[in-house]
Structure 1
Amino acid sequence: MSSTPIADHAFLSDRHSCALVDRGGTVVWLCFPRFDGPSVFAALLDDDAGHWSVRPEAEWTATRRYAGRSLALETTFRTAGGELQLTDALGLGPDNEGHRLGSNVPHVLVRRLECTSGEVDVLVDYRPRPEYGLIAPLLSQVDGGVAARGGADWLVLTLPAEATLEDGRARARLRLRAGDVVHLALQRSTLGDPVSAHVWSQTDLADLLDRSLASWESWSDLHQSYDGPWADLVHLSGRVLHGLSYQPSGAVVAAGTTSLPEGVGGERNWDYRYAWVRDASFTMEALWVAACPDEAEDFFGFMTTAGAGGIGPDTSLQIMFGVGGEHDLSERTLDHLRGWRDSRPVRVGNDAWNQQQVDVYGELLGAAARLADQLPALDEETRWFLAACADTAAVRWRDKDQGIWEVRGEPQHFLYSKVMCWVALDRAIALAPQLRCEHRVDEWAKVREEIADTVLEQGWNEEAGAFTQYFGSTALDASNLMLPIVGFLPADDPRMLATIDAIAERLTDERGLVFRYRTEEGVDGLAGEEGTFLLCTFWLAQALALSGQIERAREVFERAVAYVNDLGLLSEEVDAVTGEQLGNVPQAFSHIGLVNAAWAIDQAAHGR
C-alpha cells in the first residue's frame, strides 16, 4: 500500500506524458509515451507496482524546488558526509524553444546527480513494472546500463555503474565526491522498434537536460507576463497547465494521475488523464491570464476533429476524449492494485464519457470567445463545429443531465448546466461574424432570453435564500458561484449576493474552504464523503472580488493557497478533517481557479 502524502509529489512533464517524484527522490508514477497510457511505475497506487529511487545511502534531509521557470525538479540532499543535488526532468527535444515546447520529444526521463560538497554514497533502486504493475520484466546487463523487456515495453536504463539484478529489480551504488556529476536516464521503445531506446552517453544526457531547462525558460520568457499579486503562484500554475497539455494533438488532460481518492478509503477514485471539454476549455481561458495561449488553434482543431463526428441535430457532444481524440473510454478496475491508502477500486478509463452534460457547449464557446484574438482565421470545419455547439445548446438546454460534477445518480435540471447553455448562445452571438453566422443571431438571442427567464424563475429558491443546485431543490451548489463570473448576473445583484453568502456560510468547512455540494444530499449516487474542493474555494474568492468585496476575496484566496505544497502544486481537494490534499494531482481545475481568482482580485483592486 502506498501511503506517501499526495502533497509530497512533484510533477514532471514533456507535454506528452508525466512523472511524479516524491520528496525522497523516488519516481512513483510514469506513463510512457502518453498521459493516458499504461504506467511503467505506479508505486503511487501500490508499493509493488514499480518505482525508481535515487537517494543517499546515509541518513539525509532534503529540500526541493523547480529549477528556474521550468518543470524540472531540483532535490538537494544533505548528509553528514556531503551534499547531493538531484535534478529530474522529462527531456525536451531540439527546436523546443518559444512556441514549440513539447515537439519532437525523445520520451526520456533524465536524472542528474551532482555532489556539491563532501562525499556521498548514492543508492539506485530500479524496479520497472509495466502495465500498471502486471508485468515483472526480464532485466539484463547491457553496456552502460540495464535493459528491461516485458509486455509491450522495451526499456533501457542508462546507469554508469555495476548493477545487481534480481527478481526484476536492479540495484547499484555510486560514490560521488565534490564536483562529480553523473547522469542516469530511462527511455522506452515499442517491441517493433527496440533500437529507438538506447544507452545514452553522459555528454548527450547533459545536453538533453540543459536544453530542456533552456526550453522551459524560453517559453516562460515569451508567454508569462502576468505581474499582479501572487505572480509566482500564477506563473507556476501556468506552467502546470501547459504541462498538462498533450502537444501532438492540442488536447489538455484534467490531471496527471488516476484513482487518487476524494476521500481516503472510499470509492470516489477516478481516472482524470483524459481531455474533458469543460476542463480543457477552462484551461485555455486560464492560460489567457497565466501564459499566452498560443496553442488555441491546436486546441480548437483537436476539439473539432474529436467532437465533430458526434454532434448534430439529434446527438450531443461527447464530454471527454482520449488525448488522441479517442471516444471509447470505457472504465475498468485494476483489482490487483491496493490503491493509495487502500482506496479502492483503482480505475482506468472513465464511464463519464457516456454521460450527457449540457454545460460543455458553454465552456467551449466561452473559451472561443475569450481567445478570439488567437483565432483570426478559423477554418470552415471549426466554424461549423462551434456553430453546431450553439445550435445544440439551444435545444439541449431543456434536458436533464448529469451536470458539471458528473453525478452517477439520476439526471436533474441542474442550474449550472442551464446557465452554461445561456453562455454558449451569448458567446456564439458575439462570435457570429467570425463564425459567419449573423443570420442565426436572432434565433440564438431568443433562446438565450428564454433560458435566462427560466433560470431566474426556477433556479432561485426562497426557502434556501439562494440559487440552488437544480430546479426544485433546496440544496446549495458551489457551481452557482459561476453566474457572475460568466456574466449571467452582476455579482452585486441581491440574489447573487445572497447566494455568495449562503455558500460562504453553509457550504464550507471550519477552515472556510468550500464543498462542491453536500454529499449527504444523495444526488451523486455514491457512498462516502469527499473533501472540500479547491476550485470552488477559488470561485468564491473570484465572485467576492467581482462583487467589490476585495478584502474578503483576498482572505478566501489566501485560505486556499495555504494548501499548496512546497513547490506550489495543488490536487483536487482538501480533507475536511486532516487538511491533507486529496484527489488526482496536479489538478488542472485547482490551478485554473488560482489563476482566475488572482486575476479577478487584481482587476477589482485596480477598478477594472
Structure 2
Amino acid sequence: MFSNIEDYALIGDCETAALVNRDGSIDWLCWPAFDSDACFAAILGTKEHGRWLIKPAAEIIKCERRYQGDTLILETRLVTADGAITLIDFMPPRGAASDIVRIVRGDHGTVKMRMELIIRFGFGNNIPWVRRAEDGALLAICGPDMTVLRSPIETHGENMTTVAEFDIKAGDSVPFVLTYGPSHLKLPAPINPDHALRDTVEFWSEWSGRCTYKGHHRDLVMRSLITLKALTYAPSGGIVAAPTTSLPEKLGGSRNWDYRFCWVRDATFTLLVLMNSGYTEEARDWHNWLLRAVAGSPAEMQIMYGIMGQRRLLEWEADWLPGYGGALPVRVGNAAHAQLQLDVYGELIDSFYQTRVANLELDGDTWAVECEILEHLTAVWQRPDHGIWERRGNGKHYVFSKMMCWVAFDRAIKSAEKFGLEGPLEAWRKLRDEIHHDVCEKGYDPRENTFVESYGSDVLDASILLLPLVGFLPASDPRVKGTIAAIEKHMMRDGFVLRHDPREVTDEIQPIEGAFLACSLWLAEAYIKMGELAKAEELFERVVSIANDVGLLAEEYDPLVKRQTGNFPQALTHIALIAVAQNIDSAKRPQEKPAMERAK
C-alpha cells in the first residue's frame, strides 16, 4: 500500500535528504549525496527495498506533525490508546560523516515501540553484510558503502531486518543514530544526540534569522526558503530540482524522471528569491556553481548538470523496483541533459544580469563567458529545440525558447549599457529586434488573439505565461491579455493551470496529467503585472492550500483525486511560491522598495 506523496516530510543536511512518512518510516534516502544510490527506496517499492521504521506497536489513533520553529527538525506526535510519543527526526549539519538522528520522547502513558531497520543499498537491490563492531555498534556493509547504527536499545536480526522492541514512559527519551561512511575507512566516530539536536537548532535558527523578508505569508516563504536551502548541495552551491526520482507526474503513468540534478533553467528564479530574501551568500554560491558548470565550449552547454557540475547523467532503469503506485519505469539519470533547449541561454544570461543589478561580486571571467555564449546563440537560435518541458522526439520552434533567446540578448545589452561592459551592441540590438519580430509574427495566432506553444501550432503552452514576466511584452499589451484569457479558458482545471493544452493528445502528452503548480503561480504573477491583485491572491491561496501539513509541495497536483504528484518536494514550485508572495507584498506596499523583478 503506497502512501500519498504529501504524507512525507523532508529532513536533510544540505548534502542529501530523506523523506519521513507520517507513520514514522523513512522511505527514501540517497547516501552520502543527493545523486548517490538510495539505501532506503520503499517509496518506489515495498519495505523490502529499504526503510527505517520507528512507531508504536499498537494502532496509531492520531498523528500530528510540525517542524520545530524555522528549522528542518521534524516532530511527529503519535497517539495510541496507551499514551503518546513524539518522534524527533533530523540530520545534523554535515561534520566528518552524515548522520540521521531519531529521538523517541515519551509524552504520557507507557507506549510499546517497535523499530525496524532495513538497509538495501543500490536502490533497494543489494542486501548488506550486517555484523557487530567491538563497541557494540551495528554495521551494514555492501561494496563501498557502510552504515553504523548506535542506540542504547538492544537490537536483533529478524527476517533480514534489524528490529528492536522497547517501552517508553512519559519523560523518557531514547535516541537512535544511523551514520554513513565509506566501508574502507574506520568507523565514523559516535555523536551525542542531544548535542547534535542543539547544534542543528542553532544552525537552522541562525540561517533562518538572516531572512530579510517580513511581509505577508512570511511563514510560507520561510518554509519554502528552508526547503530550498535543504536542496542545496553545500560543497558546490548547486541546488537540485528535487531529492527524488520517478515519483510520477501522472499517477500510474510513465512520465517518471530523475530530478536529483541542477537545472540551469531555474537560475534566475532562484537568484531573485534568494537575493530578495537577504541570502546573498547563497545567491553568490549558486552563481559561481553556474559559472563553473557552463564553463567550456558554449556549443556543449547543457540544460542540467550534476551537483558538482558533472555533465554525463546517463539514464537507466531500475527494473527491480515496481515503482510508486506501480508507475513504471523507475529511472536513474536523465537523458534530457543532452537535449538542445534554447531557453536556458536566456535564463543563464538573465541570471548574470540580475546578479550585477544586486551588486553581488562576480568572477572576472563572467562577461567573457557570456560573450562566447551569445556568439554561439547567434548561430543556433533559429534551430528547433525540445522546449522547456523537455519533450522527447523531434524538435519544434517553441515560442518560449525563442522568447528566452530574446532575453539573452536583451539582458546582455542591458549589462553592457548599465555596467560599462564591451560587446558588439549594434549587432546584439539588431538580433534582439529580429527575434522579437520573429516570435510576434510566427508564434502569435491573430485569429485567437493568443501566443501559442510553437510556430504554426494551434494549441497553448503554460510557459507563454512568462511573456510579461520577462519583459518580452508589457502586461497591458492586447496580445498578452488575449494569451492570459486563452489560458484561463483552455488550460485550467478546478482553478489550477495545466502545463500542456488538454486539446493536444499524443503518446507523450497525457491530458489527465496533474496541474503544474509552478505554472499556476506564474499565472498569479501575470495577474500582479496586470494589476489584478485580487485574482493573484485568490490563485496564490488556492495553490498554498494544497501544501501538506508541514508546508511542502510537489511538482504537480491532481485535482480529480486531490493528491500531489511528481517529484517531492519540488524546488521550482517553492521558488515560484516565494516570488509570488514577495510580489503580492510589494504590490500592497508601493511606497516601499519593491521586490527585484526578472524584467527590471
Tell me the TM-score range normalised by the shorter chain: over 0.9
Match of 1:54 in 2: 54
Structure-2 separation of matches of 1:523 and 1:354: 23
Task: From the superposition, tell whether residues 31 and 280 of structure 1 become closer, same or farther in structure 2 (CA, over 3 Å).
Answer: farther
1:160 corresponding residue in structure 2: 152
TM-score, normalised on structure 2?
A: 0.94
Q: CA deviation at 1:380?
A: 3.0
Q: Distance in 2 between matches of 1:300 and 1:461?
A: 37
Cα distance, 1:18 vs structure 2: 0.5
* Corresponding residue of 2:108: 117
Partner of 1:551: 534
In structure 2, give the amino acid aligned to 1:439. G
Where do residues 108-507 of structure 1 align in structure 2 (5 Å cutoff)?
108-142=99-133, 143-195=135-187, 197-198=188-189, 200=190, 204-222=192-210, 224-311=211-298, 315-372=299-356, 376-432=360-416, 437-507=421-491
* Distance (whole Å) between structure 2 residues aligned to residue 601 and residue 300 of structure 1: 26
Moved more, 336-345 or 587-596: 587-596
Distance 1:291 1:22, change over 3 A: farther
What is the SS of the residue equivalent to 1:176?
strand
Moved more, 349-358 or 184-193: 184-193
Match of 1:569 among 552, 556, 568: 552
Aligned pair partner of 2:525 in 542, 548, 561: 542
- Aligned residue for 2:580? 597
Shift of 1:153: 1.1
Q: Within 2, Cα distance between the matches of 1:436 and 1:19?
A: 46
CA contact (8 A) 2:356 2:362 kept: no
**Which has the higher mean CA deviation after the structures are superposed, 329-338 or 70-79?**
70-79
Of residues 63-72 and 164-173 in structure 1, the stretch that sits farther from structure 2 once superposed is: 164-173
Distance 2:14 2:262 in 1: 13
For 1:427, give the aligned amino acid.
R
Q: RMSD across aligned C-alpha pairs, in angstroms?
A: 1.9
In the other structure, the counterpart of 1:96 is: none
Q: Displacement, 1:522? A: 4.7
Q: Percent identity?
A: 39
* Alpha-carbon separation, structure 1, partners of 2:24 and 2:147: 20
The AA in structure 2 aligned to 1:249 is S
Q: Which moved more, 1:78-87 or 1:376-385?
A: 376-385
Q: Is the partner of 2:213 in helix, strand or coil?
A: coil
- The question of whether the paired residues in 2 share the 8 Å contact of 1:73 and 1:89 is answered with yes
Aligned to 2:75: 74
Change (3 A) 1:320 1:345: same
Question: Equivalent residues in 2 for 1:32-47 (5 A)?
Answer: 32-47=31-46
Moved more, 388-397 or 184-193: 388-397
**In 1, distance between residues paired with 2:272 and 2:249?**
26
Deviations 1:270-296, CA, capped at 9 Å, x for gaps: 000001111244222222234524123
C-alpha distance in structure 1 between counterparts of 2:451 and 2:260, whole Å = 32
Give distance in 2, aligned partners of 1:107 and 1:564. Answer: 29
- Deviation of 1:385 after TM superposition, in Å, equals 1.8
Q: CA deviation at 1:373?
A: 5.3
Whole-angstrom distance in 2 between the partners of 1:523 and 1:438: 47
Residue 606 (1) aligns with residue 569 (2): no
Query: Could you give the per-residue CA deviations for residues 500-559 of structure 1, whole angstroms, max 9, x where no partner exists?
Result: 1111121011x1111001266256845674111000100111101110011111111112
CA drift of 1:367 comes to 2.0
* Conserved 8 A contact 1:31-1:37: yes
In the alignment, is the contact (CA less than 8 A) between 1:108 and 1:185 conserved in 2?
Answer: yes
Which residue does 1:22 correspond to in 2? 21
- Unaligned segments of structure 2, at least 5 residues: 595-600
1:52 offset after TM fit, Å? 0.2
Contact conserved, 2:280 with 2:360, CA < 8 A, in 1? no
Q: 1:217-246 CA distances to partner (integer Å, 9 max, x unpaired)?
A: 000111x12122221111111111111111
- 2:275 and 2:358 in contact (8 A); partners too: no
Separation (CA, whole Å) in 1 of partners of 2:364 and 2:212: 33
Corresponding residue for 2:543? 560
Letter in 2 for 1:230: H
Quote the residue 2:597 is aligned against: none
Amino acid at match of 1:486: V
Aligned pairs, number:
588
Q: Tell me, in whole angstroms, the C-alpha distance in 1 between the residues paired with 2:553 and 2:38.
A: 22
Distance 2:500 2:511 in 1: 13
Give the AA of the match of 2:70.
Answer: R
Q: Aligned pair in 2 of structure 1 residues 482, 528: CA closer, same or farther (>3 Å)? A: closer
Structure 2 counterpart SS, 1:294:
helix
Counterpart residue type for residue 491 of structure 2: L
Q: Which sits farther off after the overlay, 295-304 or 29-38?
A: 295-304
1:30–1:501 distance in 2 versus 1, CA, 3 Å: same
Give the distance between the partners of 2:67 and 2:421, measured in 1 at CA.
47
Structure 1 residue 261 displacement after superposition: 0.3
Aligned position for 2:6: 7
Structure 2 counterparts to residues 581-596 of structure 1, below 5 A: 581-596=564-579
Contact 1:153 1:188 in 2 (8 A): yes
Deviation at 1:331, TM superposition (A): 0.5
Amino acid at match of 1:131: G
C-alpha distance in structure 1 between counterparts of 2:414 and 2:195, whole Å: 48
State the TM-score, normalized to the length of structure 1.
0.93
4+ residue runs over 6 A deviation: 433-436
Cα-to-partner distance string for 1:373-405 (whole Å, 9 max, x where unaligned):
566442233332233233333332211100100
Cα deviation, 1:179-213, whole Å, max 9, x if unaligned, reads: 21121111111122142x34x35xx1211121011
After TM superposition, the structure 1 stretch with the greater mean CA deviation from structure 2, 39-48 or 146-155, is 146-155
Deviations 1:408-443 (A, max 9, x none): 132111010111111111112222278863233222
Is the contact made by 1:71 and 1:89 (CA closer than 8 Å) also made in structure 2? yes
CA–CA separation in structure 2 for the residues paired with 1:107 and 1:435: 43
Code of the aligned partner of 2:457: S
Change (3 A) 1:542 1:247: same
Letter of the 1:158 partner, please give it.
R
